[in-house]
Structure 1
Amino acid sequence: MSTNPAGNTGGGPSPRYVFAPAETVAVPVVGSDALFPVHRIYCVGRNYAAHAVEMGHDPDKELPFFFQKNPDNLSIGDGEFPYPPRSSDVHHEIELVVALSGGGKDIPLESAMDHVFGYAVALDMTRRDLQAEAKKLGRPWEVAKAFEHSAPCAPLVPASQIGHPTEGAVWLDVNGERRQTGDLNQLIWKVPEMISYLSSMFELRAGDLIFSGTPSGVAAVERGDRMHAHIDGIGALKVTVA
Structure 2
Amino acid sequence: MKIIAIGRNYVDHIKELNNERPDEPVIFTKPETAYLRSVDPFYIPDWTNDVHHEVEIVVKINHNGKNIKPKFAHKYYDEVGIGIDFTARDLQAKLKAKGLPWDTAKGFNGSAPVSQTFIPKDELDLSNLDFSLKVNKEERQKGNTSHMIWSIDEIIAHMSKFFMLKKGDLIFTGTPAGVGKVNIGDKLECFIGEKKMLEVDVK
Q: 2:15, 2:39 → 1: CA distance?
A: 31
| 8 Å Cα contact 2:117-2:197 kept in structure 1 | no
TM-score for both structures, normalised by structure 2: 0.93
Counting matched residue pairs gives: 203
Kindly provide the CA deviation profile for residues 45-102 of structure 1, in whole angstroms up to 9, marking residues without a partner as x.
011110011121243x531011001122111114411111210001000011001012
| 8 Å Cα contact 2:78-2:122 kept in structure 1 | no
Identity of aligned residues (%): 35
The equivalent of 2:15 in structure 1 is: 53
Kindly provide the CA deviation profile for residues 3-32 of structure 1, in whole angstroms up to 9, marking residues without a partner as x.
xxxxxxxxxxxxxxxxxxxxxxxxxxxxxx
CA change 1:226–1:190 in 2 (3 A) is same
What amino acid is aligned across from residue 17 of structure 2 in structure 1? M
CA change 1:98–1:234 in 2 (3 A) is farther
Give unpaired runs (5+ residues) of structure 2. none
- What is the correspondence of 1:17-56 to structure 2 with a 5 Å cutoff? 39-56=1-18
- What is the correspondence of 1:102-113 to structure 2 with a 5 Å cutoff? 102-113=63-74
Deviation of the 1:230 alpha carbon:
1.1
Report the RMSD for the aligned CA atoms in angstroms: 1.7
Is 1:136 aligned to 2:115, yes or no?
no
Give unpaired runs (5+ residues) of structure 1. 1-38
Choose from 98, 114, 124 the match for 1:153.
114
The equivalent of 1:174 in structure 2 is: 135
Q: 1:68, 1:147 → 2: CA distance?
A: 11
Looking at CA atoms only, which structure, 1 or 2, has the larger radius of gyration? Answer: 1
The DSSP-based 3-state class of the residue aligned with 2:41 is strand
The equivalent of 1:65 in structure 2 is: 26
Which protein has greater RCO, CA pairs closer than 8 Å, 6+ apart?
2
Is 1:95 aligned to 2:62, yes or no?
no
Q: 2:194, 2:60 → 1: CA distance?
A: 16
Kindly provide the CA deviation profile for residues 174-219 of structure 1, in whole angstroms up to 9, marking residues without a partner as x.
1122211111211111010001111112222222110001000101
Deviation of the 1:164 alpha carbon:
5.7
What amino acid is aligned across from residue 134 of structure 1 in structure 2? L
The equivalent of 2:149 in structure 1 is: 188
CA change 1:163–1:176 in 2 (3 A) is closer
CA change 1:203–1:229 in 2 (3 A) is same
The DSSP-based 3-state class of the residue aligned with 1:80 is coil
| 8 Å Cα contact 1:48-1:213 kept in structure 2 | yes
Is 1:237 aligned to 2:184, yes or no?
no
- What is the correspondence of 1:68-79 to structure 2 with a 5 Å cutoff? 68-79=29-40
Deviation of the 1:150 alpha carbon:
0.6
What amino acid is aligned across from residue 123 of structure 1 in structure 2? I
Q: 1:117, 1:214 → 2: CA distance?
A: 21
